[in-house]
Structure 1
Amino acid sequence: MRSRADDVRKRIANRRKGREKQVEPLHSRLINTDEEERYGFDQLPSYEIGPGEGNHPLFRKEVFLFKLLAAACLFLGLAILFRNETSSLDSARNFVKQSLDKDFQFAAVSDWYEGKFGKPLALFPVPNGESNKAEEENGLHYALPASGKILEDFEESGQRVMIETAKDASVEAMGEGMVRFVGEKEGFGKTVVIQHADKSESWYGNLSDISVNLYDFIEKGKQVGTVTNSDSSEKGSFYFAIKKDENFIDPIQVIQFE
């Protein structure tokens, strides 16, 4: 009988302890709430992430997948367009080629940037400013591409002059600028075209070897290639042209040759 009464007392005591544990968190929260109201504490922010809230606010999965699908369709469409030799698609192919061949005015952008914000433009290396200033004061704006004499005047072609040089002579850039073309040009052969800050272009044609790459930013006097040697003599030659506002001008007006 006595042991049974002890068991009942233990059960009652255990129940009381359980109730106290359940009441303590609520009591502590009430005390913390009173402290917040008394001292003006802000509630701590919650960083819990609900379903669908874990994505970056600037990233939308649907838009990304759509762009990826559109790029794949465009690539496949162009591949089919150029693989198909149907004459009815010639106009579309020509349009794509002209769009891809359209020149970007790198030197013009560089010139605009320098006019707005000053030198240097971090994207393009800039040569020594002091030497450039001294050359401008002396009137030496351009470098001679190569020493030689003119074999063909500008009047003969309306585009270029032909300059005879020594065999294997180096052809150098007349001024700093961006290489915007490397390859074959009709009437010029193997050619390098450099776009300068004033939007003019210098063309160096009939080259044997080319020493620069497309979109290189090169300084004045930098070698762009070597001349093509003559089969019958120990001489070489190259074409040189200057283009300004979509028109070729006589290089003799800019640079003094022998």
Structure 2
Amino acid sequence: MVKPIRQTDGPDHVAIIMDGNGRWATQRGRPRLFGHHAGAKRVREVVEACPDLGVKYLTIFAFSTENWKRTQVEVAGLMSLFRRYITKETRALKAENVRVRFIGDRPRLDAKLRKLMDDLEEHTCHCDGVNLTIALNYGGRDEVARATQRLARDVRDGKLDPESIDEETLPRYLDTCVLPDPDLVIRTSGEARISNFLLWQSAYAEYEFVETLWPDFGAEEMTRLVHAYGKRDRRFGAVAQ
């Protein structure tokens, strides 16, 4: 079925590739981790802006499966930052009625971080405000591969008929199975690529590539991009009449 042309006031689901932390720090003569800490502080501002903008779902790309290639010092610093962020923000996120989920391949993460992730999800599972999804050790291709493995096991075990598989089947096996597809994907720092982020889910998303480095991105620019989205005609392959 062809989806109808839709003109909307704003996106329900915004996904953000938070890029530019390292360059932001380098421009100031500081180590890259300084930029990551500055970037983490911006997350709260953007989350807090969502309700007034009508954004119900926010997905942020925190650490990719490719980020393990960075120096050991930077990776260790990022893992420490994630643990500190979760510990510090759990109470505030719950108080602000934010439901938190994590997507990505968890087994490679250390046990302490996984426990904090599990606890944050549990503590906020009854929240019904903004749905914040954090992509941690996430890669779009890796997600599809893992989903395909789960699907193949169900076929092997007789739970799924191969002839019944269509484009609506795979999404049920993705990490994002309980989330709607993103309407708007934003990438900061001036880079115009999607970097293996939500590959399946973003098939019909609108994209915005902005020059702002993530530590300088805030509610004002988020508001501008959401309002600009509302002026677009989303055709989904159809033709405007």
**When the two structures are superposed, what TM-score results if normalisation uses the length of structure 1?**
0.22
Q: Which has the larger radius of gyration?
A: 1
**TM-score under structure 2 normalisation?**
0.23
The higher relative CO (CA closer than 8 Å, separation ≥ 6) is in 2
Flag the structure with higher strand content: 1
Higher share in helix: 2
